[in-house]
Amino acid sequence: MRLADLRGGAMTVAVTGALLAAGNASPGVTAIGPVRRAFLPRLSGVGAAHHVALTFDDGPDPVSTPRFLAVLAQYRVRATFFMLGSMLQRAPVLASEVVAAGHELGVHGFEHRMLLGRSPRATFHDVARARDLVGQITGSAPRFYRPPYGVLTVAALHTTNALSLQPVLWTSWGKDWTTHATPESVRRKVTRGPLAGSTILLHDSDCTSAPGAWRSALGALPRILDHCNERGLQVGRLGEHFPST
């Protein structure tokens, strides 16, 4: 069986082994895109070849998230929103609106804190608390987890296995969180490589980014969707990106 097809506990064993091989003192190796894509394609979000998974981190934000929902509705595209428990707790109605629009909710942790240096107990509590909130909103257990900053630890992998969560990072990102990001710079970074089978990371909130940084992602979103349409790629949720079996 190929590594890209591993699921559940088997995937946790494989990723944990990779971290241990790299040295547990440096689990941030999973945040290095080229290394991750080469050895852990599924963790990198490599999925169906005809499909592009569109994902957003750090919401829901009452100021910005509704604007992203409007663009997605215009293009009839559904996406996966990795929500922070702390943000979801403040805007549960908005999170329900995201679900009602057909989008998928993933777990981004309760607090946007680097997992390095956090104890296994603290890691479990943070992820489980966020998972429970997402489950309350959707009425079902969430499937996907993305750690803050894309840095996984052995404790986080044991946690996701225990909570039946599949960790997924990204294949392409727009670096839309910086002060100097623009819609064009975000579009250019996202589309500079082939997008077929990829997972795109954008942010629908600036709660952990430069103030107003979400506007660069919002401005780039129609351009990215047009780019995918022109190439005959289907854009959608992670649930469609990875077969359920």
CATH of the domain at 64: 3.20.20.370
pTM of the predicted structure, to 2 decimals? 0.87
- Is residue 203 part of the annotated active site? The answer reads yes
pLDDT of residue 73: 98
User: Is the separation of the CB atoms in 162 and 124 below 8 Å?
Assistant: yes
Q: Please identify which of the residues 57, 126, 204, 206 carries the catalytic annotation.
A: 57
Q: Please identify which of the residues 51, 108, 112, 203 carries the catalytic annotation.
A: 203
Structural domain that includes position 21: 3-241
* pLDDT, tens digit, 9 for 90 and up, residues 135-149: 999 999 999 999 999
Q: Which residues neighbour 238 within 8 Å (Cβ) at sequence distance 6 or greater?
A: 45, 47, 53, 55, 80, 104, 106, 143, 144, 168, 199
Residues of the chain with pLDDT below 70 are: 1-39, 244-245
pLDDT of residue 18: 47
pLDDT of residue 30: 56
How many angstroms from the chain centroid is the CA of residue 213? 18
Question: What span, in angstroms and rounded, lies between the C-alpha atoms of 136 and 220?
Answer: 32
Q: Give how many domains the chain has, as a whole number.
A: 1
- Is residue 57 part of the annotated active site? The answer reads yes
